[in-house]
Amino acid sequence: MKKKSLILITSQSLNKWNYSRFNLSYLKKKFHIKYWNISPITSSVSLIKKEKNKEITVIEKKFFSYFELIKAINKLKKNTYVIDMSSDKSLIYILIKNLIYFRGIKFIYVSIGNYIETGNKRRFTTFFKKIFKKYFITSNIRRRIYKLYNLFKFFKSDYYFVGGLSEQRNIKEKSKIIYSHALDYNKMLELKNSKRPLAENYIVYLDQKNLDHPEYELTLEPNYLDKMFYKYLKKFFEDLSKIQKKKVIFCAHPRAQRNDDYLKDFKNVVFNKTAIYTKYADLVVAHDSISINFPILFNKPILLLQMPGFELTNFKDNLDLMGKVLGCKVIDIKKYRKKELNKFYQVDQQKYKKYIQQFIKFRGENKNSWEILAGKIL
Residues 52 and 177 in one domain: yes
From the list 4, 58, 56, the residue with the least C-alpha distance to 31 is 4
- Strands 247-251 and 202-206 come out as parallel
Q: What three-state secondary structure class fits 232?
A: helix
Whether 53 maps to a domain, the answer reads yes
Residues 202 and 334 in one domain: yes
Residues 198 and 225 in one domain: yes
Residue range(s) defining the domain that contains residue 241: 194-342
Residues 67 and 168 in one domain: yes
Contact 12, 88 (CB under 8 A): no
Q: Can you tell me the distance from the alpha carbon of 179 to that of 177, in angstroms, rounded to the nearest whole number?
A: 6
Residue 305, burial from CB neighbour count under 10 angstroms (0-12, 13-18, 19+): buried
Residues 175 and 106 in one domain: yes
Residues 174 and 323 in one domain: no
The total number of structural domains in the chain stands at: 2
Residues 213 and 87 in one domain: no
pLDDT tens per residue, the chain (378 residues)? 678 999 999 998 898 889 999 999 999 999 999 999 998 998 765 555 555 677 788 989 999 999 999 999 999 998 899 999 998 889 999 999 999 999 999 999 999 888 887 776 666 667 667 776 777 778 778 888 888 998 999 999 999 999 999 998 889 899 999 999 999 999 999 999 999 999 999 999 999 887 776 666 666 677 777 788 899 999 999 999 999 999 999 999 988 888 888 999 899 999 999 999 999 999 999 988 889 999 999 999 999 999 888 887 888 888 999 999 999 999 999 889 888 898 778 899 999 999 999 999 999 999 999 999 999 998
